[in-house]
Structure 1
Amino acid sequence: MVKLLSGCPALETMELYSFIGFHRLEINSLKLKTLKLKDYVRVGGNGNDLEILAPYIQNLEISGEDLECRFVDVSSVVNVKLIYSFLCIKGIPSIYVKDCCHEYRQVVNTLVQDNLQKLCYATDLTIGTWFTKVMYMLQFKGLPVSELNCKYLTLMLHMTMFNMYGVAGLLRVSPHVETISIELEYTLIDDFLVNDNSCCNPELLDLAKEDNMDLLSWVSSVEFHNLMKVKIVISSDACWKDHVKTGFEKVSKLSEFLLLNAPIFENFVIISKRRRCETCSMNCLSQHLSLLADKLLGRPRLFTNAAINFQE
């Protein structure tokens, strides 16, 4: 890797997929501006994290599973896409000691805190499902999270798995955001993942507390003074006739929360990415989203002239 970087002084973009063999990536090139990392493979499940030292990188994208990533220096980054996840210790090979679970979770939470602090000056930020759970736990425990300066926030979420309070908490530390895009995906495998038992008992107890919480009280006295546009895009390869009730309710509550707290709001767009369902032979996704748009039109909002549109 060192020879590759030193031998290609004009290199502008680096993309690494299913890579292995190092735990520190140091890039000091002034030319290299884009770094994309996908599916980092940890040798033998040894728990070592991946350190990234890239002070001149402007575009950073990281995706994959079971990835413990630490930002040492990404001070020039402008566009960031973080859709990776990290397993609870219960879901990692048996070389880990179960008694260390609580301490282990604290380490992961601290790591996320530090990484978000390093990204606080990025203007375009994309966050995945796993971060919403971690954000909820951080704020539920009263741990500080650095204020973000992003103007464009994209959330790439699984319909039934994202934590609504974690999303709201992320919005609370993003007071400068002007445009929010929420891309929700629902697949048949999501039902299996929701019932997955890989989480430890303390994590399940923390997440269960959200069932008894009110969103407005959880994120009280929040106004998005710069928020003007919201776009919600939902795609699905499963039938909506008998599924996603919980996920749909979360989207509805989150949408109402945004409308109630954006004084200069201009445009709210809901987009369905599938027209006809092969299971029920109906436009079940479009029907649900059209009802959501009608529901939002009838809800109170700070700026009554804000446009709410549904698109297929």
Structure 2
Amino acid sequence: MDRLSDLPEPILIHILSMLPDDGKQVVRTSVLSTRWRFIWMSVLVSLDFNHSSKKGIADFIASVHRELYYWRSCDKIRRFNVYLHSYDECYAKDVDLWLHFATTKVEDFFRLGIRNDKNYEFPQFAYKIASLRNLELWQCQLNPRGSVHWSSLVSLSFGFMNLTESVMKKVLSGCPNLECLELHNFRGIHRLEISSVKLRELSIECYYNDNHDLWLEIIAPHIQTLGLSGLCNEIRIRQRNVASLVTAILYLDFDVKGKERNLEKECSFLKELLQSVAHVENLQLNTWGIECLSILELKGWRSPPSSWKFLELGATLNQLEFPGICSFLQSSSDLETLVISWYGYNHKSRELLSKYINEDEQSRRFETHYFNCSLLHLKTIKFIDYFGPLSKYKSALPLVKYLLKHAIVLEKFVVTARIKRNVASQDYVKMEQEFLSFPRSSPHASVIFSY
């Protein structure tokens, strides 16, 4: 007897679902016996069609049609991903057919990406997809004539698109269960109002504005996580109501493209951002923010009091940045966890800070300055992503001493290096011994090196 084939069909389907989800091996089981002939149609698989510039677009279109023909009898598809390196309006009907397939078959995730100046116009029937949970659209034209019905959608991502406030309003009202919204490289809207209680995560990357006097205004009283990334001279975002915000991720940068930087504008932008997220529990800030903080500290500016309990800072770990970091810590009286992510040597950052700060003078200021505050709640400190010999980064030692001296309830100081333990050189052993020799205010503090 074939004991495997005698198992109940739900168990057989579960077994087949353990195979690679591209579906090829699942389909091959149909030749085993008549019992297995149609079971594969009930297994959730993933279909991925990626058109590269080296492959002819016509051949690619034909191959997708052939593949979807084979899967027409399948009950459901887990994930469906299509990326077109080039697109022309003559292929719009073909893409429409793929979308129709997706609206009837895809259950979990659908992504459509098109790389071309001629954006694909999203068809009207696709605004009514009742079962889909995750949707990503890149370089599409959205113009729903009626209402949008994406009732099961929990995650939505738009990229490289011209949006309007009326379209966004229709989209958001048609996604009552949406939890996460991502907007990448977009333009066209100046006000983003999110009233849904369920939508808790918003990510914005590279917002472009043709009118540089206008800002993108965010009104989202129920958002809990906000991520902002991209060029700050393009983003220009003002948060008016983010009262429920718990986590803010600010990975911003500034690109002047050969022009002289407007530091007054940059620092003003950072100050407004920090004031708007002073109430959050978790904050992540990259090297651009630390760069501006160091310049602001030199000018006498102090960070507003904050409620941060978790703080992650991207830094190059040179002494020019330390006063800015420590000034930042002074305003973080509730801080429990500090993570400093090493970004390596940043020539642009060091060059700018060197114009405003003499390194020797800054070193003396750091050692004798008034950064004498107790970090009353700081229990965990992590320096992560070290790479190469630690002796190259001895400039970080004054900051390590400062933290060990002022963190009076510290429990763990962890240094994580991006090397394998079996290739850890004697250099790491020496640095570990040096770290361990520094005085610690907390009797319970342990220094841990991890490779």
Q: CA 1:50/1:166 → structure 2, altered by over 3 Å: closer, same or farther? A: farther
Match in the other structure for 1:33 = 200
The alignment-based identity, stated in percent, is 27
In the alignment, is residue 141 of structure 1 matched against residue 291 of structure 2? no
Contact 1:164 1:250 survives alignment (8 Å): no
For residue 15 of structure 1, report the CA deviation from its aligned partner.
Answer: 1.2
- 1:232-263 per-position Cα deviation (integer Å, ceiling 9, x unaligned): 11244xx549xx83xx1342221111001011
In 1, the alpha carbon distance for the partners of 2:263 and 2:347 equals: 23
1:297 pairs with 436, 439, 442, which one? 436
Query: Which SS does the other structure have where 1:231 is aligned?
Result: strand
Matched to 2:252, the amino acid is Y
In the alignment, is residue 310 of structure 1 matched against residue 423 of structure 2? no
1:260 pairs with 390, 405, 408, which one? 405
In 2, the alpha carbon distance for the partners of 1:240 and 1:183 equals: 16
In 1, the alpha carbon distance for the partners of 2:173 and 2:189 equals: 17
Contact 1:83 1:156 survives alignment (8 Å): no
Match in the other structure for 1:111 = 269
Matched to 2:361, the amino acid is N
In the alignment, is residue 212 of structure 1 matched against residue 353 of structure 2? no
Aligned-residue CA RMSD (Å): 2.9
Match in the other structure for 1:152 = 310
For residue 47 of structure 1, report the CA deviation from its aligned partner.
Answer: 6.5
In 2, the alpha carbon distance for the partners of 1:301 and 1:32 equals: 44
For residue 6 of structure 1, report the CA deviation from its aligned partner.
Answer: 2.0
Contact 2:326 2:371 survives alignment (8 Å): no
Contact 1:14 1:35 survives alignment (8 Å): yes
Contact 2:310 2:336 survives alignment (8 Å): yes
Query: Which SS does the other structure have where 2:186 is aligned?
Result: coil
- 1:80-112 per-position Cα deviation (integer Å, ceiling 9, x unaligned): 11111234xxx2576xxx7xx7xx533432332
1:1-312 equivalent positions in 2, closer than 5 A? 1-43=168-210, 46=212, 48-66=214-232, 67-87=235-255, 91-92=256-257, 104-158=262-316, 163-186=321-344, 190=345, 193=348, 205-206=355-356, 208-213=357-362, 214-236=365-387, 240=389, 245=392, 248-275=393-420, 283=424, 287-312=426-451
- 1:203-223 per-position Cα deviation (integer Å, ceiling 9, x unaligned): 7532x2354123243442211
Matched to 1:253, the amino acid is P
Q: CA 1:93/1:215 → structure 2, altered by over 3 Å: closer, same or farther? A: closer
Contact 1:231 1:270 survives alignment (8 Å): yes
Q: CA 1:109/1:233 → structure 2, altered by over 3 Å: closer, same or farther? A: same
Q: CA 1:113/1:305 → structure 2, altered by over 3 Å: closer, same or farther? A: same
For residue 168 of structure 1, report the CA deviation from its aligned partner.
Answer: 1.4
For residue 65 of structure 1, report the CA deviation from its aligned partner.
Answer: 2.7
Query: Which SS does the other structure have where 1:62 is aligned?
Result: strand
In 2, the alpha carbon distance for the partners of 1:146 and 1:292 equals: 35
Residue range with higher mean Cα deviation, 29-38 or 208-217 = 208-217
Contact 2:409 2:444 survives alignment (8 Å): no
Match in the other structure for 2:23 = none
Q: CA 1:219/1:126 → structure 2, altered by over 3 Å: closer, same or farther? A: farther
Q: CA 1:130/1:262 → structure 2, altered by over 3 Å: closer, same or farther? A: same
For residue 12 of structure 1, report the CA deviation from its aligned partner.
Answer: 1.0
In 1, the alpha carbon distance for the partners of 2:210 and 2:218 equals: 17
For residue 226 of structure 1, report the CA deviation from its aligned partner.
Answer: 0.7
For residue 17 of structure 1, report the CA deviation from its aligned partner.
Answer: 1.9
Q: Which has the higher contact order (CA 8 A, sep 6+)?
A: 1
Matched to 2:400, the amino acid is S
Q: CA 1:8/1:148 → structure 2, altered by over 3 Å: closer, same or farther? A: same
Query: Which SS does the other structure have where 1:40 is aligned?
Result: strand
- Gaps spanning 5+ residues in structure 1: where? none
Contact 2:341 2:383 survives alignment (8 Å): yes
Q: Which structure: larger Rg?
A: 2
TM-score by length of 2: 0.56
In 2, the alpha carbon distance for the partners of 1:128 and 1:162 equals: 15
- Gaps spanning 5+ residues in structure 2: where? 1-167
Contact 2:318 2:396 survives alignment (8 Å): no
For residue 148 of structure 1, report the CA deviation from its aligned partner.
Answer: 1.1
Q: CA 1:274/1:47 → structure 2, altered by over 3 Å: closer, same or farther? A: farther
Contact 1:181 1:231 survives alignment (8 Å): yes
In 1, the alpha carbon distance for the partners of 2:257 and 2:214 equals: 13
Contact 2:319 2:395 survives alignment (8 Å): no
Runs ≥4 residues deviating over 6 A: none
